Amino acid sequence: MPKGAKELIDALNEDISYELAAIIQYMWHHVMASGVESPAIIDRFRLVAMDEMRHAEMLAERIDLLGGVPTTELAAIQVGGDLKKMIRDDIAGEELAVRLYKQHIKLADGLDDPISRRMLEDILADEERHLHDWETVLERS
């Protein structure tokens, strides 16, 4: 196991726990929003869940390559309420993801792990896009 890998594996596992929770949260929002007048918003929940699934897979593969075991533990999941509450919950989740990924990018950079750093930067870009999209949806609703 490379120097500092344990600390990075722990950070990546933290990311996975939030990604797994986000997958479930977005899928439940997709199901619970089925009565909403906007099919585009309903579909957006599903599409973002698929992005989060891809992120979890990338993180798990990197953890495995670093000699760790990907977690199966979930972070807290927020479901229920009206559409605006669902979107606010998703915005809060994306804000947290952005903060964590920025911290973990610095960690990977400090450990001289450019592969993990680039992967995390790619995921961060997706999370920032999700955050912007949900903020825009909330402003318009």
Per-residue pLDDT tens for 114-141? 999 999 999 999 999 999 999 999 998 7
- What mean pLDDT is reported for the chain? 94
pLDDT number for residue 140: 86
Domain ranges of the chain: 5-140
Other beta carbons within 10 angstroms of residue 135's beta carbon come to 14
pLDDT score of 100 more than 60: yes
Per-residue pLDDT tens for 67-86? 999 999 999 999 888 889 99
Q: Is there a contact between 94 and 134 (Cβ–Cβ < 8 Å)?
A: yes
Per-residue pLDDT tens for 50-61? 999 999 999 999
Architecture of domain 5-140: Up-down Bundle (1.20)
Q: What is the pTM of this model?
A: 0.93
